[in-house]
A and B are shown apart, each in its own frame.
Chain A
Amino acid sequence: MTATVRYADTVEGLELPPASFPLARVDLVRYAGASGDFNVIHWNERIATSVGLPNVIAHGMLTMAEAIRVVTDWIGDPGALVQYGVRFTRPVIVPDDDAGAMLEVSAKVTELLDDNCVKIVITASSEGQTVRGKAQAIVRLA
C-alpha cells in the first residue's frame, strides 16, 4: 500500500508521462452500463441536441476516470491517491463516426506538501481545447 515513486526524488515542475484516450460512442454505452449513469445526453443525439448540446457528450465521470490514470500509473499504487477533484468546464463531444473523440491528458507536479504528499495538476483537452477548468490530485509518495 505504498507508492513506488519516492518523495525525495520528486521536484516541483516534474511532468508525468502523458496519455491519449480515444472515445467512441460504444465507449459511452459501455460506461453507461458499467456505471449505471444512463443520462440520455450521453447516448441519444436526438435528446442531446434538443436540450441545446451540439451532439452527444461523454460522461464527465468517464473522462475523469481516464485522466487520473496518468497519475495512478505513475505512482504505482493507486491507493496512494489522497484527493482527486475536477471541474468540467467544456464537454467532450463524441460524434457518431468512426473516429469519435480523443482525450489528451498531461499532468505535472506543482507543489510538494507535508507528509510525503505532492499536488499534481492534470490538464485534459479534446480537439485542442481544454475540457477542464481545474483538475488536481494529491498523492502520498514513498
Chain B
Amino acid sequence: MLNADFIGRAYPPSSPYFVSREKIREFARAIGERNPVFVDRDAARALGYADIIAPPTFATVVAMESSQTVMFDPELGLDFSRVVHAEQSYSYARPICAGDELIVSSTIENIRVVAGNDMLTTKASIDTVSGEHVLTTTSVLVSRGVQTP
C-alpha cells in the first residue's frame, strides 16, 4: 500500500537539465524518428526554431531524475518491479529545444487503490531556468498488487 498521506506532496525543483543536441539526436534515433527537425539544425531553423527541437516524449528524459525521486522515495513505498505505466499526458506551451535549461517541479496529485492495485498520479511542470513554462506532464503509475496463490 502506498502512503496516502503523500497526496499533494510537492517535491523540491530538480537541478537544471541542459538539453543538448546530441541527447535529442540519441533519443530521436532510439524511437526511430526520421523527421529532420529533431536532428538537423538547418531543418529546425527552416521551421523557425533556434536549434533542433526534441520529439514530444523527450520530456520523459528531462523529468527522469524528478520522477525517480518520487518513485524511489522510501516513505512512499512503491515496489518498482511491480510498477506499470498506466497513463501519460503532456500539455505543451512549446517544444523543448536544444540549449534549453529546464527545471522540473513534481507534485503527487493522487493516490488511490483500484481493484487491489495502487495508482499513483504525479504531475510535473517543466520550465526554463528563467521561468518560461514549456510543458506540463502528468503520469499515472500502477503498482500491481501481489497475487495470493
Q: Which residues of A contact B (CB under 8 A)?
A: 1-2, 21, 27, 30-31, 33-37, 39-41, 47, 51-52, 59-62, 64-66, 68-69, 72-73, 77-79, 81-88, 91
Could you pull out 27 A-B pairs where Cβ atoms are within 8 angstroms?
Answer: A1-B47, A1-B49, A2-B48, A33-B30, A35-B64, A39-B83, A52-B144, A60-B84, A65-B56, A68-B57, A69-B35, A77-B37, A78-B37, A79-B95, A81-B92, A82-B91, A83-B92, A84-B57, A84-B89, A85-B87, A85-B89, A85-B138, A86-B87, A86-B88, A88-B85, A88-B87, A91-B84
Choose one: B32, B85, B144; the contact of A51 (CB below 8 Å).
Answer: B144
B: contact size bracket: 35 or more
A21 and B60 contact, CB distance less than 8 A = no
Residue ID in chain A nearest B71 by CB atoms:
A39
Choose one: A34, A72, A83; the contact of B27 (CB below 8 Å).
Answer: A34
A83 and B90 contact, CB distance less than 8 A = yes
Q: Does B148 contact A (CB under 8 A)?
A: no
A21 and B32 contact, CB distance less than 8 A = yes
B103 CB, min distance to chain A CBs, angstroms? 17
Residue ID in chain B nearest A33 by CB atoms:
B30
Residue ID in chain B nearest A134 by CB atoms:
B87
Choose one: A2, A37, A79; the contact of B60 (CB below 8 Å).
Answer: A37
A126 CB, min distance to chain B CBs, angstroms? 15
Residue numbers in B under 8 Å from A82 (CB-CB): 91-92
B57 and A65 contact, CB distance less than 8 A = yes
Bound CA span A73–B55, Å: 11
